[in-house]
Amino acid sequence: MKRQLLFLWQILFLALLLIPPLTKGQSTIGRGKISGDFSFSGMYYLPDSLINATEVEEKVRANTYLNLLYTNANFSVGARYEFYLFPLIDFEQIGYKGQGITYFFADYKNDFLQVTAGSFYEQFGNGFTLRAYEDRALGIDNSLYGARVKVTPYSGINIKAIWGIQRKNFDFNFMERKDFVRGGDMEVVFDEIFPKMSERGFSTSVGGSFVSKYENPKDVTLKLPANVGVWSLRFLFRYKGFRIESEYANKINDPNLGNGFIYKNGEALFITTSYSQKGLGVSLSFIRTDNMDFRSQRNTPNTTPLLQINNMPSINHQYTYALLGNYSFVSQPNGEIGLQLQANYNIPKKTKIGGKYGTDLTIHYSRLHDIDKQFVAASDSLGSLKGTDGYISHFFKFGKNLLYQDIGFEMSRRLNSHWKLGLEYNFLTYNLHLLQGEADTNLFKGHHAGVEVQYKINSRHALRLDAQHLYSKQDMGSWLHLLIEYSISPHWFFSVADAWNYGNSQKEKKIHYFNVAATYIIKTTRISLQYGKTREGILCSGGVCRTVPASYGVGLSVITSF
């Protein structure tokens, strides 16, 4: 405990020290410049048996990291130091615990060539073959450690090649790893080569990529492939306001823990088409994925984002509401088929219906099923498919199980210089059994309605009220969520919030999850202090989610970039 507090103080002290020299101006060495960012997010945990926040041994915990970047003309070098020795409990649960320099690189870039040595992030196309990325809020860091070369031999032609070992939390024994990833991507943008196309309103580009993973194929029972490859082809076509883009990917036999060690090839298809003009946008997307989970190590469970080489996008609507976090759909790389439709319309300003300032409307619908599967004969008397081709699947046939559906409507409008109003309604269907492994096979159905009112008191002070109601008879039942936020531009935010699970079928679980917070912002530094309860559930950020345990306590975060 004492050690913990000492550690907290050290970090805080350092954070405060950091602010003055770095806000004065840009640090420079010779003609280069140093920039960076620092983030500390700590919490003092309190036990609360009602919400299931268990007592933790180390009550003071924090996630801390520092990024530094030095740039001098075409050269840059950078590094990140992460201190997660006593991480927030949700990070500890996913094994994100340790400390060290987890990211460092040297990079040279001119108009023709870019060479990177060390750690890097990279994405080919939509990420079907390769997506090395980070999402720090969720503890995802799939960076590669190795080398990358990008070449632009002619304007409009881009070639990339990569080789690397994927980061695995705080495991620094790269030399002992028996797995690595290598691949290449090429893209041709025709309207860059032929500028006349653009003038006539056309855009076309095509691309393709191939990524292969090597892993030591040691296994007693199966003859495993040492190399697993994924290839993909993609295109984009636009004529004036009409666009269509698509990507198809295929993975060659990859028996792994997630697919039950079957040898079937994987494939994925993504098509999205849209039409838009000023004030109106409509888009329709289709996705089908089948056995596309692709990792550096075949024994990684597919419940974690660890060692994921590629990334299948989830095409459903991305909600940001805490109440809907628990029912947020995450893409199922091993089998999903579905579509999404969205329309955005702006009723022009200074019209009868649009009002003085105009009105924004959005409607969206998405529906995702599992895929059709006809299983082959089992390989043993226990019914296991291990070592077989698993199943066959009709490409365009929807599976019989609905995984997820959302139907929603949003409207926002400024009424006058003081008042702004937002209204929202959503109907959600979510398969708790197949997506979260709940025993209950009933689909979750919830009606969600939200009202957001903003009152601008004067040019700097504003008050925001956000009220949401989720009505449901399944899972945890109905919720009411209220948030009042007072802001003083540009420095202060104060908020009080309460999420009340009034519809829980168990009387003692009709709990209030209250939260109070104060935030101070100056330039690119944000300091915030928060006290309250967080419910057990799913935390989402930008459409990727992970489960978080219930917690209760006081939190402090300091984030700055310089």
Q: Of residues 255-294, which lie at the interface with another protein (CB under 8 A)?
A: 272, 274-283, 285
Please report the sign of the dihedral spanned by the C-alpha atoms of residue 536, residue 542, residue 545, residue 548: negative
Report how far apart, in Å, the C-alpha atoms of 183 and of each of 24, 36, 296 are. Answer: 43, 30, 13
Strands 131-132 and 461-472: unpaired
- Check residue 4 for interaction with another protein (CB under 8 A): no
Among 165, 521, 539, 554, binds another protein (CB under 8 A): 521
Question: How far apart are alpha carbons 159 and 211 in whole angstroms?
Answer: 14
Closest to 430 measured CA to CA, from 415, 440, 420, 421:
440
Whose tokens are 């919720």? That residue is 479
Residue ranges in 413-524 assigned as alpha helix (H): 432-436
The minimum distance between CB 372 and another protein, in angstroms, equals 24
Q: Which is nearer to another protein, 360 or 438 (CB)?
A: 360
**Inter-CA distances, 211 with 159, 186, 252, Å:** 14, 12, 11
Pick 39 or 334: Cβ nearer another protein: 39
Nearer to another protein, 24 or 507 (CB): 24
With contacts defined by CB under 8 A, name the span among 224-232, 260-268, 291-299, 452-460 that binds another protein: 452-460
Least distance in angstroms from the C-beta of 353 to another protein: 15
Concatenating the DSSP letter of every residue in 508-536 gives GG--EEEEEEEEEEETTEEEEEEEEEE-S
CA–CA distance, 428 with 402 (Å, rounded to integer):
12
Q: How many residues bind another protein (CB under 8 A)?
A: 112
Least separation in angstroms between CB 110 and another protein: 9
Q: Please, what is the minimum distance in Å from the beta carbon of residue 381 to another protein?
A: 42
Asked if residues 244 and 272 have their Cβ atoms less than 8 Å apart, the reply is yes
Choosing from 543, 549, 553, 555, the residue that interacts with another protein (CB under 8 A) is 543
> Of residues 334-353, which lie at the interface with another protein (CB under 8 A)?
342-346, 348-349
Listed residue (164, 158, 207, 206) closest to 183, CA to CA: 164
| Token pair of 412 as six digits | 């926002």
Please identify, among the stretches 219-227, 291-299, 437-445, 484-492, the one whose residues bind another protein according to the rule CB under 8 A.
484-492
Encoding tokens for residue 340? 């999404």
Question: Is 298 in contact with 308 (CB distance < 8 Å)?
Answer: no
Closer to another protein by CB, 195 or 301: give it: 195
- Three-class SS of residue 333? coil
Phi and psi dihedrals of 301, rounded to 5?
Answer: -65, 145
Compute the distance between CA of residue 360 and CA of residue 221 in angstroms, rounded to an integer: 60
- Determine the interface stretch with another protein among 149-157, 212-220, 442-450, 472-480 (rule: CB under 8 A): 149-157
Our finding on whether 358 is near another protein (CB under 8 A) is yes
Q: Which of 407, 411, 480, 559 binds another protein (CB under 8 A)?
A: 559
Residue that has been written with the tokens 């893409």 in this structure: 331
Of the pair 105, 398, the CB lying nearest another protein is at: 105
Residue 506 lies near another protein (rule: CB under 8 A): no
Stretch that binds another protein, among 185-193, 224-232, 437-445, 496-504 (CB under 8 A): 185-193
Strand 544-548 with 537-541, pairing: antiparallel
Nearer to another protein, 140 or 511 (CB): 140
Task: Tally the residues of the chain.
Answer: 562
Contact between 27 and another protein per CB under 8 A: yes
Give the x/- contact pattern for another protein in 223-242, rule: CB under 8 A: -------------x-x--x-
Within residues 523-542, the interface with another protein by CB under 8 A covers 523-524, 526, 542
Stretch that binds another protein, among 43-51, 60-68, 209-217, 220-228 (CB under 8 A): 60-68
CA distances from 113 to 107, 120, 143, 158, 212 (A): 11, 16, 21, 10, 23
- Residue (232 or 472) nearer to another protein, CB: 232
* From 86, 145, 327, 562, residue interacting with another protein (rule: CB under 8 A): 562
Task: Find the binding residues for another protein in span 198-217 (CB under 8 A).
Answer: 198, 203, 205
Q: Which of 4, 52, 59, 68 binds another protein (CB under 8 A)?
A: 68
Q: Residues 59, 97, 243, 469: which binds another protein (CB under 8 A)?
A: 243
Token pair listed for 175: 């030399």
Residues 105-124 interacting with another protein (rule: CB under 8 A): 109, 111, 114, 121-123
**Structural contact between residues 523 and 23, judged by C-beta atoms closer than 8 angstroms:** yes
Smallest separation, CB 4 to another protein (Å)? 14
Which residues within the stretch 367-406 sit at the binding site for another protein (CB under 8 A)? none
- Rule CB under 8 A: say whether 192 interacts with another protein: yes
Nearest to 541 by CA among 367, 328, 342, 307: 328
Choices 33-41, 48-56, 370-378, 429-437 (CB under 8 A): range interacting with another protein: 33-41
For another protein, the closer of residues 69 and 257 by Cβ is 69
Q: Which of 44, 81, 170, 409 binds another protein (CB under 8 A)?
A: 81
d(CA 455, CA 464): 6
Residues whose CB is less than 8 angstroms from the CB of residue 416 and which lie 6 or more positions away in sequence, other chains included: 356
Return the ∠ at Cα 390 (arms to 385 and 396), rounded to 5°: 150
User: By rule CB under 8 A, what string of x and - marks binding of each residue 306-325 to another protein?
Assistant: -----x-xxx--x-x-----
> Which residue in the set 9, 21, 200, 384 belongs to the binding site for another protein (CB under 8 A)?
21
- The answer to whether residues 223 and 351 touch, using CB atoms and an 8 Å cutoff, is no
